[in-house]
Structure 1
Amino acid sequence: MPIYEYHCDKCNKDFECLIIGSYQAECPDCKSSDVKKMMSACGFMSKGGGGETVKASAGASSCGGCTASSCAGCGH
């Protein structure tokens, strides 16, 4: 089940939401449905060319000192 990142146009909050079926995202703070899906990096693991494991995540592609698993989690 996919988790998407959204931005609320009403209260300017970024949040994540688990989407099941035809569920419409709603801001957890102001309950507005005036939200837009944001682009986000996905996390994955793959084997590199030499057999070594290469790991990437949203945190690896975000700001330098970030330890959050997504940009929505750190507030940037």
Structure 2
Amino acid sequence: MTPLHHIGNFIRELVIQIPLWCVRILFLGTLIAVFLWVLRLPRETTTPENATHWYQNLKIWACLALAIQIVIYSIF
């Protein structure tokens, strides 16, 4: 075995010790943080200059996609 195998096995043993519920909370927390960040973006940065309709605001669709991901990953 090469030294990289020993390093890889050491890292694998460290990662195995982390409970899956902690990983799930960290992952969902990251999605929620991005969701909140997107909500706080100003409308001017998420809408094209010549936008005339509400559905042209990209913040709406980004929040919808993030909300769906949060629901899916919190259920499964």
Select the structure that is richer in helix.
2
Give the strand-richer structure, 1 or 2: 1
Q: Relative CO higher for 1 or 2, CA cutoff 8 Å, sep ≥ 6?
A: 2
When Rg is computed on C-alpha atoms for both structures, the one with the higher figure is: 2
For normalisation by structure 2, the TM-score amounts to 0.29
